[in-house]
Structures are given as structure tokens and as C-alpha cells.
Structure 1
């Protein structure tokens, strides 16, 4: 598996991977209307392009070595708070789960975060998303929860999770 640093040329691919993964991950959690609203807001060309221009925000495409197919992506922001990196996005398309890609993506993230001298990774996960158990299996713990108004009468009802990197 390879991690390829994304550029503005990759925005259509990121949008496609997001749509495909969201349709699977959130089908039983979010309404079709909320999913469409969030995808349109969070994955617009302008939104992603702005993030890619930010020096601390990084997108990496996840590519399978075996067939060169793009299986997902990861988006994170170093120094989100002091020595904390925020994992904003990690998504895998249906059919790629269970291959160890998520685990390898989190290991890759931990390595990148360490290189940037951050010691903590935080993320939000929907309270009804089974991915929470995956994060817990990788050493992430819940430190809080929150309900966030995202506009259009929609909210995100999330657990806030963290992973502490122990520097050697």
C-alpha cells in the first residue's frame, strides 16, 4: 500500500472517494439530505483547494499496491492546537475494509505527526458509527462528546477521541 500526497489535481478523485465511502459508512446513520449537504459543503472544490493550500493541512491518497486502485484517503492538520494534530478525514471505499488499510493509515498518520513534533491526535466520530470500535482497537480513547451545528438544521453528534504519542 502506498500513501501519495494529494494535489489540487486530485480533488475530483478525493470527491469521488468521499462520496463512495460516505454512501456506505453513513447510510444507516445520516439522512440522504444531510449526507448530500455535508458532502457538498465539506468536499467542494474550493473547500479542498483551500485546505491543500494551508501549510499544515495534508491529504494523502491510499493506493493498493496489488492493483494500483485508490482505496481511500486521509486528511489531517498538524498543529491544530499546540502539539495536537486533528485527523479530519479518513475514509476507505467499500470492499477495501478488512484489508488492514485503516490500521496502516493510522500508523502512517502517527509517523507523520511525530515527524512534525506533535504528541496528540484528535478526531471526531459519529456516536453511531461503528468505526469508533476500530479507533479504540488502535489505542484511541474518548475524552469528550459534542453536538455541533453544521447549518441547514443539521448537527453532528460525535464522540471526541484522542491518541497520545509517546516520544522515545
Structure 2
């Protein structure tokens, strides 16, 4: 698997990975209307460009043999002015679950974090998401809970996970 830095030219690929993974992960958690709202809000070309301009780094994982993109991660250094890296998005296509790709992407972020003087990785995860075991297996602990009003009457009900690195 090869990790490539994404650019604005990769928006369609980012959107495809997110929507494919989203459908598998959130179909039993979110209504179709909320899913559509959130995907449009976070994955339009305009939104992705803004995220990239505001310090979100996107990387894509590509299977070197097939040439197919299998996952992505986006992250931000110095989250809230602290020595933290925030993982904003981590998606692995359903057919690649269990392949070690999620670990590879988290490890990549950890390497980048350490290189930038950060000692903690933080992320939010929907409290009803079944990926809880993945994150605890990776050494993350629940540091809190957060409810975020995202507009249109929708609420993100998240755990805040953290992992100390280095």
C-alpha cells in the first residue's frame, strides 16, 4: 500500500471513498436525510478545498498492484493550539477492513505528529459507531464526550478519543 498526499484534484476520490464507507458505517446510525446532509456539508468540492486551505492534510492509500484507492485520512497539526494532532477523517473501504490499512493510516499520522512536535492524537467518533474496538485496540482511550450541533436540526453525538504517542 502506498500513501499519497492528496490535493484539490483528488476531491472526487475523497468523496467516493467517504460516501462508500459512510454508507456501510452509518446506515443503521443516521437517517438517510442526515447522511446526505452531512456528506454534502463535508465533502463538496468547496468544503474540501476550505478544509485543505485551513490546515487539514489529506492522504490517500492506494493499492500499488491494482491501482485502486482503498482509504484516506485527514488530520490537522496543533489542534486547539496544543501539541495534538486531530484526525478529522479516517475511512477504509469496507472490502479492506481487517487488512491493516486503518492501522497503517493511524501510524502514518503518528509519524507525522511526532515530526511536528505533537505528542497526542485526538479524534471524534460517533458514540454508536461499531469501530470503537478498532480505536481501543490501537491504544486510544475515551477522553470525553461531545455533542455538536451541525445545523438543519442534526446533532453529532461523539466520543472524544485520545492516544499519547512518542
TM-score, normalisation: structure 2: 0.96
Q: Distance in 2 between matches of 1:121 and 1:53?
A: 21
In structure 2, distance between residues paired with 1:60 and 1:116: 16
SS of 2:95's equivalent in the other structure is: coil
Q: Where does structure 2 lack aligned partners over 5 or more consecutive residues?
A: none
Structure 1 runs not aligned, ≥5 long: none
Indicate the residue corresponding to 2:157 in structure 1: 157
1:100 maps to 2:100: yes
SS where residue 78 of structure 2 aligns? strand
SS in structure 1 opposite 2:103? helix
Report the equivalent of 2:47.
47
- Which digits, 9 at most, give the CA deviation of each residue in 1:15-44, with x for residues without a partner? 111111100111111111110000000111
Provide runs of 4+ in structure 1 moved above 2 Å: none
Q: CA deviation at 1:68?
A: 1.7
Q: Looking at secondary structure, tell me which structure has more helix per residue.
A: 2
Superposed CA offset, 1:102-153 (max 9, x none)? 0111111100111111111110001111111100000000010011111111
What root-mean-square deviation, in Å, do the aligned CA atoms of Structure 1 and Structure 2 show?
A: 0.9
Q: Which residue of 2 aligns with 1:80?
A: 79
Question: Counterpart in 2 of 1:12?
Answer: 12
1:110 is matched with 110
